[in-house]
Amino acid sequence: MKALALLLLPTLALAAPPAGPRRVSALIVPMDPTAEASGPRLENYMNEALGQFQGYTVRKPEELFGMPPDEEAQASLKRGEQGYKESLEAFTKKDYEDAERKIRATLKELQKAAGAMTASCNPLCDATALYAAVMHLRGDAEEAKLALLDLMSLNATYELDTKRFSKELIALRLQVATGVNAALRGGATVKSRPAGARVFIDNEFKGYTPVTVPTLSVGKHLLRLERPGFRQYGQILEVSPDDVEASTALQPTDVYKAYDTKLDGVAAEVMRGGNVSNPSVAGMGRSLGLEQGLVGTVRDMPDNNTTELVLGLFEMRTGKRLGTKRVVLQGDEFGQLKSEINRLVNHLVNNAEGGGEKVVKSSDPLENSHGTDEWNSEDRGGKRRTQEKKSKKGDPLEAVNGTEDW
């Protein structure tokens, strides 16, 4: 028995563990400045398509490169929360002079915390409402109206606490809400360097930079930019009837800086095609911890207002090319871009696997069924025909039901 155990030990030691899901991601290299804006959106669509395949663990760009929060904004948010608490205590004690001093300082601090208010407009909305109440009680109705206008632009459905605030202030809010200024609208153009950052206004996604957002209510709004590989950015956006513009340079992470140095070599290997070695792709894959990847280049073609995408599927540890496809994208005027990218990803992955379908994540029994699959195997009553066809020399249409070619 001991001898048998000793003989089995080498075999057990050499037995490979069961293969787990392969780490995969989409990486797009922009070939010109205008193509920077489309890269992150294409990566997002590709990663969503990859997520429908079994055997893959999709690593999103923010996981690969990081997307750290704005630490200064977070620190300002904490100070603003404490300032609001102290302002509210002074207001409750009816020390309105002290409350005004503290709430002004709090609002100034919260101006720098826009990037950290990712769930709601609080405590900025609460502080703005308190400021309006303090100014109304101190006799400055015009300043109170301006504060209420800012409050409605930050959150149109914000409700004043009837236990905390007077009926007169609530009536004033209604007056402001039905006034001319509340109906005014303006546009905002948001830009970033590099382009392609996700734009959130009042925590609602609006598109990728550069983007123009029309018909925003006049007043203050929370603006936040997110781009994987860069520090998050936020600011208070002051919208007026005249269109406004906000622009910033995003700060890259160290991981993204190292990735950026490899892009020229990676782009050259993607573009040349063939079955030659791709050391730049392999080096990038190893540094990012990927096993497979969709790696491509994107180029804007302004002459015909289209975009050229060259996309390859690679074994990222070795740089082996599993497939390549070049497509010309016509834009996204009717929301067709996502479905085009989904078809492209399915084509590359399924061809690399020898045509075998891997898409599985649906519990719908009718998934991938077009409704006529079983017509030729059932009779009129829905019962499956099991009898064999009998050869007869009579009617040439014997055993033909007329739907065979459907």
pLDDT tens by residue, 222-242: 999 999 999 999 999 999 998
8 Å CB contact between 223 and 186: no
Q: Which residues contact 6 (CB under 8 A, 6 or more apart)?
A: none
3 state DSSP class of 73: helix
Q: Note the pLDDT of residue 34.
A: 87
- pLDDT at residue 333, as a whole number: 77
Q: What is the dihedral of CA 155, 72, 211, 253, to 10 degrees?
A: -140
Let me know: does 129 contact 220? Beta carbons within 8 Å.
no
| 219-226/244-249 β-pairing | unpaired
55, with CB counted inside 10 A (0-12, 13-18, 19+), is middle
Return the H-helix or E-strand segment holding 237: strand 233-239
> What residues does 71 pair with on adjacent strands?
none
Residue 11: per-residue pLDDT: 44
Helix/strand/coil (H/E/C) assignment for every residue in 92-151: HCCCHHHHHHHHHHHHHHHCCCHHHCCCCCCCHHHHHHHHHHHHHHCCCHHHHHHHHHHH
For 356, phi then psi, to 5°, come to: -75, 130
Cβ neighbours around 66 below 10 Å, total: 16
Q: How far apart are CA 363 and CA 367, in angstroms?
A: 8
**Which pLDDT score, from 0 to 100, does residue 275 have?**
78
Looking at residue 299, its pLDDT comes to 95
Q: Alpha-carbon distance 385 to 118, whole Å? A: 61
pLDDT < 50 positions in the chain: 1-18, 356-392, 400, 403-404, 406
Q: What is the pTM of this model?
A: 0.81
CA–CA–CA angle 309, 284, 280 (5° rounding): 75
Query: How are strands ordered across the β-sheet holding 204-208?
Result: 204-208, 198-201, 219-226, 233-239
Angle between helices 124-137 and 141-154 (to 10 degrees): 160
User: From CA 385, how far away is CA 378, in angstroms rounded?
Assistant: 5
